[in-house]
Chain A
Amino acid sequence: MSVFEPGSIVEERKDFIHTKGRQKKSLKCDSDSIAGCVSQRACVYCGARVVLNPVTDAVHLVHGPIGCASYTWDIRGSLSSGSELYRNSFSTDLQEEDVIFGGEKKLTAAIDQLVEKYPTKLVFVYATCIVGVIGDDLEAVCKNASLRHGIEVIPVESSGFIGNKAAGYRAACHALLRLINSGVNQDNNKVEKIPMSVNYLGDFNLAGEAWIIQNYLHPLGIKVNTNFTGDSTYRSLKDAPKASLNIIQCAGSMAFLAKEMEEMFGIPYMNISFLGVEDTSGSLLRIAEFFNSHKAVKAAEELINREEEIVKPLIEGYRREFQGKKAAVYVGGGFKAISLIKQFREIGIEVVMVGTQTGRPEEYETISDMVEEGTVVLDDANPTELEKFMMEKEAHLLVGGVKERPLAYKLGIAFIDHNHDRKHPLSGFAGAVNFAGEVYSTLCSPVWKYLK
């Protein structure tokens, strides 16, 4: 057995790490985490839960032992304009005897009790690890409950071991499609489209981000038909086929859904990004142009001019403070990483390390094209690798989630949150200022000078 070498990279991990300009070979990604490497990744259930949880008026029932539900109670900062039902955490709290004899009865009873207590049209039932193993027939239980109560009870196939977080995104999309497609006499192909309307996919309304975008599109004469899934409801999701365009913010979670919806309902889709000034302006224009409306384009230009005039000097001010600073990025999806690289460029910061939990091959290619020579790109990184490369590349700042924050701080470097439960928006023009402001608040804090 090989001996311990501090900071060494495990052999099986080498293909997941790439330094731009050094190797030709493409990066390995989208595969299982390697045992014992302390992956920062979550599970299938988690992926499904983060996507579906923002559906505000649904009962979200976790079929499984208590921990899985306990750790995900209200951990997203998704805001609601109406129902607060989604902020509860319901669990069948499986016990030993359920594991032995099966949990179907308990699940049935749980659904009945919840539906009676919390009148709703929609129940999502999430499968956790052991449900797949004990062989509960989720499909049948849900179907029966659905008939009994005359509402939608939708199983989410998110057993933890069947893949990684990305498989959970997919499970969530399947559940959403099922919701859209089910129901009596619904022929979604014949649904009349609302002109100048979009579905906004892959925004979870963290700190009201979906509302910001809605406010930008409104003066352009563009209606947001349905959000997936920030601040969405049973009704609004059912209405999704009426949109004439799907715009996708978080491609990692929603690209699949967009493709399916194009096929099923003939809704074209477009990747957009509202992170950073450049992306926000560009995306607004592209959306307006899509509708072939001179008026919309003009309105977009006006809005962009107005906002940029306010925002640009602010960001320019920050930019001057950031000279020579280098950033590292470790986030959930590839798309977010790409946006962040651009956003850092806007504020004059070079990105020297980029990693994601669930990036896809084409996203890693884009990343690789964007970054400077010598930048380290890595998939499914662990704390040891994050530490090693941040030190080697002399990053001053890390962007990541809750687990990464203490690591950055212990290394004495700045940190910004790009996680599910942040309390300030990072989307749109306002978000761009917030982003720069947050970078400033951490990079330029007096605390670092005491660590020398």
Chain B
Amino acid sequence: MKKVNENSCHMCMPMGGIFSFKGVEKSMVILHGSQGCATYMRRHIAEHFNEPVDVASSSLNEKGTIYGGEKNLKQGLDNVIKIYNPKFIGVLTTCLAETIGEDVDRIVSAYLKEKGLVHLSAAAVSTPGYGGSHSEGYLKACHQIVAALAKKSPGHNKINVIVPNISPADIREIKRILNIMGVDFTLFPDYSNTLDQSFVKPYQKMPTGGTKISDIQSMSGAVATVQTVLTAGKQPTAGAYLEKEFGVPLYETPIPLGLENTDIFLNTVKRITGKEIPRSLGEERGRLLDAMIDSHKYNFQGRSILFGDPELVLAAVGVCLENGVFPVVVASGSKNTRLQQLLQPRFNQLNREACFLTGADFVSIREKAVEYKANIAIGSSEGKYLTEKEGIPLVRFGFPIHDRVGGQRLLSVGYNGTAMFLDRITNTLLENKLNNYRRKMYESFYRGENKELIGAELRWKE
């Protein structure tokens, strides 16, 4: 058995938690632990979003580690409040705080009481770095934020839309679609502005945006929740919490990415609200179909490998399957078995096999990518490793994208976003083909070197 992770395909729990908190209005995060965790995560997030990301740390030192970090955490909270004046504070633990057994829940509530901070809400989330990947950290923090804020409230006609870690551009697109449909909604967590601020003067240290706290409080009175998360498995989610505690019916759909998934999402919303899908969205769908036809032949030459957050991989595999970019390796660094359970029937239907990897690292992903002859990779920047080592071109998707600009602007959801995502895939396949076909044909036919190909390019089934 493998005892070592070689080139990781996932990050640690608190990283995911930061995103959830950045999706709440005027919220500030403090990591309880040593200084490094916060700095590393800030660096990673800043590189992807090209935004300043202020995340505080209780900067635990040796003394705090031995005698307990309560004093540090309280001092940290003091300073965070002084400097940022937040409305909401998220306290996330790190490996260190967890290992020394800090009871952050107690510390935080004691703190708020001591200081008489009635206007301030807080949520403490236990996110040991060794307890799971960033994907789990994200869902867990979403759950805990809703649990901390939602209160029994009178019924209203909004729906809740809860999203996994998608790009700010994607969040904006989902909001646009819901607005076109004329639906009243609360989208959570909404970091579309806080992690992708427009240029304003003067600079806002606490950017406007984020789901309003009052809206989160009244998520309990919504008509229903649409949660675009299917891979959570047994992990409690915010949507399930609202259903259990307040009886808000929960509808679980995939991320509206891909033709089928977007259909599912829109039809779910339609079913709940009774609103018709307007013509303009129908036109967008038609345009996506047109795009799919335009590029179908090129796509049919694709043998893809997908990796990253289970939920994003699930959606992206859907796009590949719809377009004949056949997925041969499906991998996640998270130890998530739901992904395969969800996808297996679709592969069976096609009478095809794909290699599924959970808890994967890039050394194993690379091995399988070669074995299964993948010719395109879809996932975060870390996939550049596959490009560098095996010449497999990479379509950047998900988080982190730190070797290109615009990670925050990548649009992939809805019919429009899907068309753009598909174009990125098709064009990568085309570029690769056009860059190589002269040499390949020369080697195959003129020099007769490439026996394996025997001249046949267009093989899908093998």
Contact = CB atoms under 8 A, between A and B. Distances in A.
Contacts of A134: 99
Contacts of B58: 35-36
B3 A106 contact: yes
B32 to A, nearest CB: 9
A70 B77 CA distance: 28
B15 interface: yes
B83 A35 contact: no
A109 B130 CA distance: 18
A160 B51 contact: no
A187 B108 CA distance: 57
The residue in B5, B36, B98, B382 that gathers the most chain A C-beta atoms within 10 A of its C-beta is B36
A134 B99 CA distance: 8
The residue in B15, B35, B39, B129 that gathers the most chain A C-beta atoms within 10 A of its C-beta is B35
Given A161-B62, A406-B52, A36 B36 contact: no
Contacts of B50: 405-406, 409
A32 B59 contact: yes
The residue in B43, B78, B84, B117 that gathers the most chain A C-beta atoms within 10 A of its C-beta is B43
A45 B61 contact: no
Given A36-B79, A38-B83, A68-B36, A160 B7 contact: no
Given A33-B35, A133-B99, A134-B99, A89 B80 contact: no
A10 interface: yes
Interface string A1-23: 11011101010100000000000
B75 interface: yes
A350 to B, nearest CB: 23
Contacts of A64: 95
B61 A65 contact: no
A410 B204 CA distance: 9
A90 B5 contact: yes
B2 interface: yes
Given A4-B85, A387-B205, A402-B46, A65 B130 contact: yes
A356 interface: no
B96 A133 contact: yes
A363 interface: no
Contacts of B84: 4
A280 to B, nearest CB: 30
Contacts of B57: 33, 35-36, 38-39
B430 interface: no
A384 B205 contact: yes
A205 B115 CA distance: 51
Contact of B59 (A5, A33, A113): A33
A191 B41 CA distance: 45
Given A69-B5, A90-B5, A2 B36 contact: no
A105 to B, nearest CB: 9
B39 A93 contact: no
A231 to B, nearest CB: 19
B41 to A, nearest CB: 7
A179 interface: no
Interface string B7-41: 11011111100000000000000100111111111
Given A42-B40, A70-B10, A384-B205, A35 B73 contact: yes
B54 interface: yes
A2 B82 contact: yes
Interface in A393-428: 401-403, 405-407, 409-412
A387 B129 contact: no
A403 B57 CA distance: 15
A41 interface: yes
The residue in B4, B49, B59 that gathers the most chain A C-beta atoms within 10 A of its C-beta is B4
A383 B99 contact: no
B272 to A, nearest CB: 38
A73 B75 contact: no
Nearest to A70: B8
B80 A129 contact: no
Contacts of A129: 33-34, 36-37, 94-96, 99
B199 interface: yes
B56 to A, nearest CB: 5
Contact of B130 (A35, A99, A132, A387): A99
A451 interface: yes
Given A92-B4, A384-B205, A35 B75 contact: yes
The residue in A36, A66, A91, A451 that gathers the most chain B C-beta atoms within 10 A of its C-beta is A36
Contact of B3 (A73, A113, A406): A113
Contacts of A72: 40
B100 A133 contact: yes
B65 interface: yes
B3 A65 contact: no
A94 B203 contact: no
Given A89-B7, A383-B54, A67 B82 contact: no
Nearest to B134: A67
A34 B133 CA distance: 28
A11 to B, nearest CB: 9
Interface in B376-431: 382
Interface in B305-361: 333
A4 B56 CA distance: 16
Contacts of B42: 403
A88 interface: yes
Interface string B60-91: 11101100000011011111111111000000
A161 B62 CA distance: 6
Interface string B352-376: 0000000000010000000000000
B221 interface: no
Given A90-B6, A133-B65, A406-B51, A43 B75 contact: no
A109 B4 CA distance: 8
A161 B5 contact: no
Contacts of B203: 387, 410-412
Contacts of B5: 66, 69, 90-93
A93 B11 contact: no
Contact of A412 (B40, B49, B60, B199): B199
19 contacts: A4-B84, A6-B85, A32-B59, A34-B59, A35-B57, A35-B58, A37-B79, A40-B39, A46-B39, A98-B130, A99-B98, A99-B99, A113-B2, A129-B34, A161-B34, A384-B205, A406-B51, A410-B197, A412-B203
Given A67-B37, A109-B3, 14 more contacts: A35-B56, A38-B56, A39-B59, A65-B129, A66-B12, A71-B40, A71-B44, A129-B94, A161-B96, A162-B61, A402-B43, A403-B53, A407-B52, A410-B203
Closest 5 CB pairs of A and B: A43-B36, A67-B12, A36-B79, A36-B76, A35-B76
Interface of A: 1-2, 4-6, 8, 10, 12, 32-46, 61, 64-73, 88-96, 98-99, 106, 109-110, 112-114, 128-130, 132-134, 160-164, 382-384, 387, 401-403, 405-407, 409-412, 451
